Structure 1
Amino acid sequence: MTVTPPIRRHSRTGLYVPLLIALTLLAAWTGWWFYLTHRIETGIEARAVAMRAAGWDIGHGRITTTGWPFRTRIAVAYPTVTAPDGHAISAPTLVAEANTYNPDRWVVIAPDGLVLTRPDMGKVALRGEALRMSVSHLQARFPDLRIQLDKPVFTPHPGAAPFPILRAEQLQINARPHGADGARADATTGPVDVLFRLTEARARPGGVLDGLAVQGPVGGWIETTLEGGDRLRGPAMIGDLEAWSRAGGRFTAVRGELKAGVSTATLSSDTLSADSSGRLQGTVALTADKPLPALAGLARSGVSGVDRAAAAGAATATALTGDTSAVSLPLVFRDGRTWLGPFALASAPKLF
């Protein structure tokens, strides 16, 4: 008689354990995602309350959060931020996104464009192929900030004053704590390095830049260090150049290169600051290549703020040197005016 051995049933515990571990991890990650998004939404509201208390006007519509499980994506409908001095920015929607596992770096985009409001000058619509801003190292005294506008187009609203440029290939603004080669050792100190770059811009017809460029392209870059630039971070100080200037803020180590049509110029200055009325003051060492076309174009411009006689005099003086290819002249901002050598060309740039 043959005895059949009993059938051994294998335990399925080994199949369930990995599944239970995966479900536990998923539940924990989902909990973290909801906790993070709630904290971010709460932080947005808290920052808005703080800025309103400091005199800012903050408004927005619905805030929605998506992106689970690996992204945190926050969309804010109809945000409007108005500074105490009347400057404002608004948009149909702003979208901010970050990795859920690293919420210290955010990318903000304006998919439907922006509207910039200038006090007493009206609104300007800004659209482009890409309007983005990235912010990282949020725990530092001043974060790393990068703004990039690809193919921006500036269109004044009906009744608004013209904008200096119509469009550009690219516009960049970078700001980060001062430090050699971007090192973050200085992240807790005051100075902030700033870079502004404009590529292949077209100036509005009849404007100052159009006159300088003789209807050619405008571009260039300027880098500087803002002493005490970290004061511009807080809710009451963001973009408040007047308070920054009164607290001793100034521009140091200014370097740059400008291009207007066929004319180019390199510039440098040890220190620039703002006077009590917000006008730039200081001296810039300017070395211009082929400056005569730019000065002659400025003299022919129809802008009321430009002293065309002074510009014509500067052009004549340049021609009389006998070397119109390269000229070194001091560009001086004083008494609210911009001086090229002995010639007062126009009002000094107004910072606030």
Structure 2
Amino acid sequence: MTDRSSSARHSRRGLVVPLVLALVALAGWTVWWFVLAREVETRLEVQAQALRDSGWSVTHGPIRTTGWPFRVRVQIADPDILAPSGQGVSGPVLVAEANAYDPGKWVVIAPEGLALVRGDKGRVDIRGDALRLSASGLAAPFPTLAVELVNPVFTAQAGAEAFPISRAGKIELYTRPNATDVANLDVMFRMTDAEGRSGGPVEGLAQNGRLTAQVEGVVEDARALQGMDAAGVFAAWTRAGGRFTGVRGTLEAGQSRALLSSDQLNAGPDGRLEGRIALQAEQPMSAIAGLARSGSGSVDRAGAAGAAAVSAASGDREVDLTIVFRDGRTWLGPFALAPAPKLF
């Protein structure tokens, strides 16, 4: 009788002890989760206030934190973030998520789309199957970032300047710290199957087809990308001597193909690119001629037509060309094609 009673007590203890340990662990984890959630909300507000103190306009609606027990999910209603340059984003809602056991990596999504604010150019609505940003290494001088827009559609709001493209299969932007120089930043941009707006330069360049591009390079002196003046971060970076180096890429526009490279590009005082890009092009005449026929007022049609005529001499052969950005214009030999790309 005594042996059976002792055995029963040991059996019950064997069940109770693991249960008690599990409850203690769950209670400890729950405390940790709420502390983490509160810390996230506090840091968000501190960062928002720091931006406001630097001249940014930052407003938002209620912030709701959920996701217990294994995730931290922060939902921000009606975010509106505007830099002193007049550029920024706004939208109905932003959602940020991270694993509670690894809060150093976050994914931010815009499930109901975003509006891109472009200063005097007005706002552009962006909708798509997925609009997301992932960020890791937030404690480092430069975090690792990945922006992905899947099947995005761009619609300029009433009174806004038209956007160069109307839609794309995918748009990606990746940044990471340079492996050999911590002052620099590696950047890659990829756009797949983009369609230009009706009558615009991209539609002409792609000859009513699709535009696909991939460009990568190094942003030197990236620590200077922190200006808060009205011109934006690239203005401060330019004043500090910032430049793009090791630029390499590919371009496909309709039937035209090109490999591009540049040892150095920088921005002038007006914010427009300066420097040279070497192109190893296949059937460039089709793209340049399409650009000349576009209805965009920014395209120098006479210059593009002249460049197309010269390019036609190469026929279908591969030809080496040089694009030059100078005096605020984009030049192919003696022919001005369009304004140079503007960074700020």
How far off is 1:230 after superposition?
3.7
Amino acid in structure 2 at the alignment position of 1:58: V
Measured after TM superposition, the shift of residue 159 of structure 1 is 1.9
The 1:239–1:30 alpha-carbon spacing in structure 2 relative to 1, beyond 3 Å, is farther
| Cα deviation 1:186-215 (Å, max 9, x = unaligned) | 5xx111000000001110011111111111
Distance 1:58 1:121 in 2: 20
- Mapped contact 1:280–1:348 kept (Cα < 8 A): yes
Q: What SS does structure 2 have at the residue aligned with 1:304?
A: coil
Query: Which residue does 1:167 correspond to in 2?
Result: 167
Which stretch of the first structure deviates more once superposed, 296-305 or 247-256?
A: 296-305
Write out aligned runs for 1:286-301 (5 A): 286-301=279-294
Q: Distance in 2 between matches of 1:235 and 1:37?
A: 29
TM-score, normalised by the number of residues in structure 1: 0.92
Q: Residue in 2 aligned with 1:132?
A: 132
How does 1:173-322 map onto structure 2 within 5 Å?
173-179=173-179, 189-232=182-225, 240-319=233-312, 321-322=313-314
Partner Cα distance (1:23, 1:63) in 2: 30
Q: Pick closer, same or farther for the CA change 1:156–1:20 going to 2, 3 Å.
A: same
Q: 1:8 aligns with which of 5, 10, 14?
A: 5
Query: In the superposition, relative to structure 1, how do residues 338 and 13 fare at CA in structure 2: closer, same or farther (>3 Å)?
Result: same
Tell me how far apart the structure 1 counterparts of residues 304 and 22 of structure 2 sit (CA, whole Å): 74
Residue 351 of structure 1 is matched in structure 2 by 343
The Cα of 1:7 is off from its aligned counterpart by 6.3
In structure 1, what residue type is equivalent to 2:5?
Answer: R
CA contact (8 A) 2:84 2:232 kept: no
Q: Work out whether residues 291 and 325 of structure 1, in 8 Å CA contact, stay in contact via their aligned partners in 2.
A: no
Q: Kindly indicate whether the alpha-carbon contact (under 8 Å) linking 1:168 and 1:200 is maintained by their aligned counterparts in 2.
A: yes
**167-176 vs 284-293, greater mean Cα deviation:** 284-293
> Structure 1 residues 202, 119: CA separation in 2 closer, same or farther (over 3 Å shift)?
same
- The one-letter amino acid paired with 1:161 is E
Equivalents in 1 of 2:289, 2:2: separation in Å? 108
The answer as to whether partners of 1:231 and 1:237 remain within 8 angstroms in 2 is no
Give CA deviations for 1:137-194 in whole Å, capped at 9, x if unaligned: 11111011001111000011122211111111100000000127xxxxx5xx111000
Distance 1:19 1:296, change over 3 A: same
For residues 92 and 238 of structure 1, the distance between their equivalents in structure 2, rounded to whole angstroms, comes to: 27
Please say which of residues 97-106 and 233-242 is displaced more in the overlay. 233-242
TM-score, normalising length: structure 2: 0.95
Aligned pairs for 1:110-121 within 5 A: 110-121=110-121
- The question of whether the paired residues in 2 share the 8 Å contact of 1:279 and 1:336 is answered with yes
CA-atom RMSD in angstroms: 1.9
Corresponding letter in the other structure for 1:8: S
| Structure 1 residue 233, shift from structure 2 partner | 6.2
For 1:313 and 1:335, the matched residues in 2 are separated by 19
Alpha-carbon distance in structure 2 between the residues aligned to 1:197 and 1:5 = 77
- 1:65, 1:122 → 2: CA distance? 32
Letter in 1 for 2:94: L
Change (3 A) 1:261 1:38: same
Cα distance in 1 for residues equivalent to 2:232 and 2:86: 12
**Which sits farther off after the overlay, 236-245 or 149-158?**
236-245
Q: How far apart are residue 13 of structure 1 and its match? A: 3.2
Find out whether 1:334 has 2:331 as its counterpart: no
Assess, with a 3 A threshold, how the Cα gap between structure 1 residues 219 and 82 changes in structure 2: closer, same or farther: same
For structure 1, the residue ranges without an aligned partner over 5 or more in a row are 181-185
Give the aligned residue type for 1:104: G
- Describe how 1:147-158 pairs up with structure 2 within 5 A: 147-158=147-158
What is the one-letter code of the residue matched to 1:84?
Answer: P
Match of 1:183 in 2: none
Which AA in structure 2 matches 1:260? Answer: A
Residue of structure 1 equivalent to 2:33? 33
Q: C-alpha distance in 2, partners of 1:158/1:323?
A: 43
CA-to-aligned-CA distance 1:28-57 (integer Å, 9 cap, x gap): 101110111111100000001111111111
Instruction: Establish whether residue 86 from structure 1 lines up as the match of residue 86 from structure 2.
Output: yes
- Measure the CA separation in 2 of the matches of 1:265 and 1:50: 44
CA gap 1:325/1:46 in 2 versus in 1, 3 angstroms: same
Alpha-carbon distance, 1:277 to partner: 0.7
Identical pairs, percent: 52
- Structure 2: runs of 5+ lacking an equivalent: none
* Contact 1:47 1:235 survives alignment (8 Å): no
- 1:325 paired residue number: 317
Give 1:324 deviation, angstroms.
4.2
Kindly state the Cα deviation for residue 342 of structure 1 after the two structures are TM-superposed: 1.4
Match of 2:56 in 1: 56
Greater CA deviation, 170-179 or 15-24? 15-24
Query: 1:239 & 1:27 partners in 2: Cα distance?
Result: 47
Cα deviations by residue, 1:266-293 (Å, 9 ceiling, x for unpaired) = 1100000000010100011112110111
CA contact (8 A) 1:205 1:215 kept: no
CA distance in 2, matches of 1:51, 1:156: 27
- CA drift of 1:5 comes to 7.2
Change (3 A) 1:332 1:234: closer
> How many residues get paired?
341
* Amino acid in structure 2 at the alignment position of 1:142: F
